[in-house]
Homo-oligomer: A and B are copies of this chain.
């Protein structure tokens, strides 16, 4: 993660201040729970809440850690400075560091997921608005980068909407995957702490108790989480790739909004680069690269080894911050995307009418002309269009054999764009629901 590609709300989740706040809450709730079941005195549990509004001093904790070489002990030592050594003496009793670290990490991931879910919804709203706006804006559909049959710009936006809708579901599932906490002790047996403590703390934090943990929460959960982010980032790349293609000089069916402040815009009007979507293509690679180490993190030795930790210290913030930024940037791109319907028509008619050649071919065979003859009839006219840029329909109407086989009206009908858009409403209803 670098500041250039980040947004403050997501960054804040990963700050040391937030982390210590969550650690504090876990410890305080745990004391509360231990008091509830009579394991520690009520007043000691109450005393911990004295630090409720404390903004913990990260520099001080770092200082203690430099000495103790243990982050959780450093924090607890600092906490005792606020609560009082004597009052704080039951804090963390029977717990292991991972109880705090893992539960905290999941709280952070849940919060990150909440932001990403809102991001996804924001992007969907933008896509839906543009889909409705361009529902019937005709453009040529392309397979292999080659003109195929007409479609509409609205359908393009709609399919990205549908893809993001699936991603929304995946993000919600991913959120569930890591919505667990564990306070189960050194090897997960609850030897030194009652399961009731885990249940209470999790309930306070909006988590489910991990049904069975070791020293750590099992990492298949996190693997599934990052894999979901990888899928979402691939959609970011997918949408970005479409826009980059649309903006290239020869196509120019759409362009990223270009603010006037940007140098060079008006003196070189042809030089408006799709840098945001190119950037998003790169950011997608960055999110995607975190999937493999997340998968490699699953196979820990016995009840835990700590190899996953350095990985997660990096990919936890990096993947969520980058994807948050990417989704927000993409939403803005979609919102402000300049769409050029007239260029869409011009492109479609680069070889006037030629995209209808398949329909004509089909019509000829259906009219009883042999396959070979149909082929030859289409070919002789199509090649003229290809070579001279004349109009295919005009050529067909001037070809007696074709007119004889199909009739003028049927030929005209083959060039009706309504033929291609007749089911747009059906598809929109599938994607956005009946309105």
Asked if residues B212 and A269 are in contact (CB atoms below 8 Å), the reply is no
Q: Does A2 sit at the interface, judged by CB under 8 A? A: yes
Q: A162-B211, A220-B231, A288-B295 are in contact. Are A302 and B145 (CB under 8 A)?
A: yes
User: B145 near A274 (CB under 8 angstroms)?
Assistant: yes
Cβ–Cβ < 8 Å partners of A230 in chain B: 223, 227, 291, 295
B375–A188 contact, CB under 8 A? Answer: no
Task: Give the residue name and chain of the B residue nearest to A351 (CB).
Answer: B270
Interface-lining segment among A45-53, A67-75, A330-338, A399-407: A67-75
Instruction: Give min CB distance, A323 to chain B, whole Å.
Output: 13
Interface-located stretch among A23-31, A105-113, A114-122, A248-256: A248-256
Residue in B2, B279, B419 whose beta carbon sits within 8 Å of that of A306 in the complex = B279
Tell me if A68 and B263 are in contact (CB < 8 A).
Answer: yes
Contact A282 B295 (CB under 8 A): no
Contact, CB under 8 Å: B212 / A162: yes
The reply to whether the CB of A320 lies closer than 8 angstroms to some CB of chain B is: no
Q: Mark A222-244, 1 if CB is under 8 A from B, else 0.
A: 01100110110111011011101
Q: A189-B420, A305-B145 are in contact. Are A350 and B250 (CB under 8 A)?
A: yes
**Separation of A292 and B233 alpha carbons in the complex (Å):** 12
Query: Is B307's CB under 8 angstroms from A269's CB?
Result: no
| Contact yes or no, A189 B150, CB < 8 A | yes
Look across to chain B and name the residue whose beta carbon is closest to the beta carbon of A255.
B146
Number of interface residues of A (CB under 8 A): 145
Q: Which of B283, B309, B314, B357 contacts A267 (CB 8 A)?
A: B357
Contact (Cβ within 8 A) A220 B166: yes
What are some 28 contacts across the A-B interface (CB < 8 A)? A141-B215, A142-B187, A144-B244, A144-B278, A144-B306, A145-B248, A146-B270, A146-B273, A147-B271, A148-B303, A151-B187, A155-B188, A159-B212, A189-B420, A190-B423, A190-B426, A195-B426, A212-B430, A227-B291, A237-B298, A248-B250, A268-B361, A268-B378, A270-B382, A282-B307, A285-B307, A291-B295, A296-B296
A-B contact sample (20 more), CB < 8 A, given A267-B361, A270-B382, A285-B307 = A5-B313, A142-B301, A142-B302, A145-B248, A189-B420, A189-B424, A189-B427, A212-B431, A230-B295, A234-B298, A234-B299, A250-B347, A267-B375, A268-B357, A268-B358, A270-B351, A279-B309, A282-B309, A286-B315, A314-B318
